[in-house]
A and B are shown apart, each in its own frame.
Chain A
Amino acid sequence: MLTIDSLSKSFDKGKNYALENVTFNLKAGHVCAIVGESGSGKTTLVRLIAGLERPDHGRISMNGNIIASLDKFVQPEKRNIGLVFQEYALFPHLTILDNILYGISKVKNKKQRAQDMLDLVGLNDMGKRYPHQLSGGQQQRVALARALAPEPSLLILDEPFSNLDAMLRTQLRNEVFDIIKKTEVTVLFVTHDTQDALSVADEILILQNGKVVQKDVAANLYVKPNTLYVASLFGSTVHINKNLQTAFKCPLNETCCHAIRNEKIKVNPSTGDFECEYITAAQVIKKIELGDSIQLLLKLESGEQLTVMTQDKNVADIIHIGFNSKDILEFEQ
């Protein structure tokens, strides 16, 4: 449905690239999350797709038609893409109803359609209000209704929940995606929060420094991350460097990079019997009680420091920790 082909964009004439050689496909009806830190190029990517920026190189096609390339540029108003901005961007001088009507002025039964959209997002009695009279969450839903009203073939959500506090965020995320599922629209969802991505996306695209580092279904990203960066995005991860390999007596292939997730490191509260392939002794430097579990800061003989979690309340000063080879993550250098 959406095809991105070696897309590049620079804002300083090629000295630095906000986006470099990005290539991927998006299937119709799928929800794809774009995950990356701030400055990774997420927003640039969706602005290019929406037609709010022009690419320096590469191609964007929708349903087989090129919408942006070096020779061609389809104006944003002709692309039939819905976009929900991070700061909602509701028109402050128009009522909620007029905001929703704005994009469907040429549609038959537009009044009915706008009212349907208000019903869909659960704000049926708010049509006459102005944006500033609504709460953040309500404004968010109006922005969604406004974007969905023209029945876009692609809906882009640019960090839609980042202005909300944690409680409201989870609730609204679920609500928003319940609404979206009813419309069966294809969705690109930009976020820096992996929890957001994992909970709603069919597939996830990871951007780092303007480049795609991995695109996969959620489960694979956890089990088979392409890089240490991707691994650490989905849970804290320890890089098994040379020192750790020596400490655990586990020689690993030198041409690759290895890591282990913190939660896969097993903890033996004493130095007694312990079934693990690779084991080492560690000194407990600090214990932090976190409700039902305890976080331990450990120091190995080699001087390396590690953090692990345990449920056991009785931890000796010197303990054993270890892991198994099946849990080792392996990436190319």
Chain B
Amino acid sequence: MKQVGNNSEAFSLKTRLKRLKRDSNRWSVFTLAIVFFLALPIIFIGVELFSGPGETWSHIVTYLLPDYIWNSLYLVFFCSILVLLLGVSSAWFVSRFDFLFRKQMEWLLILPLAIPSYIVGYAYAGIFDYGGSMDLIFRQLNLDFIRIDIMNRAGLAFVLSISLFPYVYVSARAFFLNQANNLLEASKMLGIGERKTFFKLMLPLARPAIVAGLVLVLMEVLNDYGAAKYYGVNTFTTGIFRSWFSLEEPQTAVYLSALLVIIIFALILFEKWQVRKVKFTSSKTNSTQIQRKKPRKAIKWLIFSVVLLPIILGFIFPVAQLIYWAVLTASTVFDAKFIILSLQSFGIAITSAVITVFFALLLIYFSKWSALRSIRNIARIGVLGYAIPGAVIAIGIMIPTLALDKWLIKMLGNLGIDSGLIINGTLIALFYAYAVRFLAVAYNPIDSTALKVDNSIPDSSKVLGVGNLRTFFKIEFPLIKTGVFSAVILVFIDVMKELPLTLILKPYHIDTLAVKAFEYASDEMVMEASIPSLFIIFTAMIPVIFLNKLLIKK
């Protein structure tokens, strides 16, 4: 292609406007409408900022905000260090070395993702409690002068790290498995030793992948409510809850939410900057599998234990503790009411998964059918909800729906109809919130399978006289089915585990397993929380294993 200086007519303002008119179709409008709908909670938080802070704001700024900021920074810092140590080392060892039970451990390392952080928190509280498992062990060993207090900031950082490190593990391992082999061989040919290869070559190259995983971890850390509340650590999320429920000051909650969103966008910018700085990884995946080394015996056991440790801490210990509690409390907790509760929880998760996937499909395909290329970039704004903590989204939905309901009640009252709250405190608000929060979870697997379908396939359908919608149902949907299916499952798990958003928005009479576990724990009945927790873990486990299979296939 050649530089053209004088062909400016094609890009003069007049012709641009003409093209804009020609190329805007209904799909462009629909895409914009969906993006707007998904961004609405955040827009509301932005708008509410202008009506000034609440009465207690100055009190919070003086007495609590430093605490929130300090605690959040503390958690971000120490969780980063811990998840990097656990995630990167285990990813490197399972991709580079062959040792006992390596294959099993590869997917066992993902399992901590099946346990929500707050449940890990409950389990560890029990393990280190007075009269808990650790206490018993120490007493047996005549070490009963040792008491480890875990119910503090450091304990919370430990609990969050041990449950979230798989995000780093998964993305680092994907990099090591797919990209590393050629480079490893080249390094070997140049006579570079194992340690130097790792620190000088693999680690810097894997940085974008590792940072991407780390940012996901930190988003979850800032999103956490259940564990922080239980451990008595004041964070932004607990602050939002406190201002909303105890102080009944929505304005203060809004201000805290806005601050939290700013911190998270700083994190995202940090990731983008990291990725841009080191954009030298090839996008092609390597077909040759990495050649695993068989280490010497002593080292083999060292590696084995290093990889086993996060599995024990992140999965086996907490699950064992929960099972122990479950045995003790099964007779009181497990009854017909509990079964109904589980079914409700499944029902809510499935429905919201289907709704969210539906929105993701609309967004992906409407923006594709829009002839304006800029619309495709705008569509990606709809995915940003994943970065925004559940509590913030809930506040962003609560405020406008309350106002809307007030207005509706008044209008219907004028007509002589006595209606209760129509949107607020109903499942509609909850489903809407889940769709906003988990759209990215559905969007990414569908988008990546859709990208594998060559453009010429839908193009040839159109050339054969078939419109967009029929092309989608007849050609594209059958080809992206697996992506859609895994998207439904992924959103399902996330909704099952979700706590803060559900706590704020759920209807009175409806509970989920996550909420039930939280309620038990808050009412000093943490043992009873074990059964709903185990239910969540086992439903989440099956797809986590399934997901790992997908990852290996890729």
Contact = CB atoms under 8 A, between A and B. Distances in A.
Interface of A: 8, 10, 13-18, 20-21, 39, 50-52, 54, 56-57, 70-73, 75-83, 85-87, 89, 91-93, 102-103, 146-147, 150, 209-210
Contacts of A78: 465
A72 B4 contact: no
A106 to B, nearest CB: 8
B467 A75 contact: yes
B184 to A, nearest CB: 33
Given A20-B7, A54-B22, A93-B479, A70 B15 contact: yes
B19 interface: yes
Contacts of A56: 10-11, 15, 19
A89 B459 contact: yes
B22 A209 contact: no
B462 interface: yes
B464 A57 contact: no
B456 interface: yes
Interface in B7-36: 7-11, 15, 18-19, 21-23
B18 A77 contact: no
Chain A binding surface, main DSSP class: loop
A273 B474 CA distance: 75
Given A76-B463, A77-B466, A87-B454, A209 B475 contact: no
A20 B11 contact: no
B478 interface: yes
Contacts of A210: 1-2
Contact of B467 (A71, A77, A103): A77
Contact of A8 (B7, B457, B461, B478): B7
B23 A17 contact: no
A50 B463 contact: yes
A320 to B, nearest CB: 42
Interface in B305-334: none
Given A73-B23, A103-B465, A89 B460 contact: yes
B3 interface: yes
B371 interface: yes
Contacts, number: 109
Interface of B: 1-4, 7-11, 15, 18-19, 21-23, 371, 454, 456-457, 459-467, 474-475, 478-479
Given A18-B1, A102-B461, 6 more contacts: A8-B10, A14-B10, A15-B3, A17-B1, A70-B22, A83-B460
A78 B465 CA distance: 6
A102 B10 contact: no
A186 to B, nearest CB: 15
Contact of B4 (A20, A52, A86, A103): A20
A52 B7 contact: no
B466 A102 contact: yes
B19 A54 contact: yes
Q: Which 7 interchain pairs have the tightest Cβ spacing?
A: A103-B464, A14-B11, A89-B456, A57-B10, A16-B1, A89-B460, A85-B456
A17 B4 contact: yes
A71 B22 contact: yes
Nearest to B10: A57
Contact of B465 (A52, A70, A80): A80
Given A70-B18, A91-B457, A102-B461, A14 B7 contact: yes
B470 to A, nearest CB: 9
The interface centre, meaning the residue of B15, B19, B23 with most chain A CB atoms within 10 A of its CB, is B19
B180 to A, nearest CB: 31
A137 B388 CA distance: 52
Nearest to B466: A77
A3 to B, nearest CB: 19
A75 B19 CA distance: 15
Contacts of B475: 91
30 contacts: A8-B7, A14-B4, A14-B7, A20-B2, A50-B463, A51-B462, A52-B462, A52-B463, A54-B23, A56-B19, A57-B7, A70-B15, A70-B19, A71-B22, A72-B22, A77-B466, A77-B467, A81-B463, A85-B456, A89-B454, A89-B457, A89-B460, A91-B475, A102-B464, A103-B465, A146-B460, A146-B464, A147-B463, A150-B464, A209-B1
A91 B470 CA distance: 14
A103 B7 contact: no
The interface centre, meaning the residue of A13, A78, A102 with most chain B CB atoms within 10 A of its CB, is A102
A320 B460 CA distance: 58
A54 B371 contact: yes
Contacts of A50: 459, 463
Given A15-B3, A20-B4, A57-B15, A85 B461 contact: no
Contacts of A73: 22-23, 371
A210 B7 CA distance: 13
Contacts of B11: 10, 13-14, 56
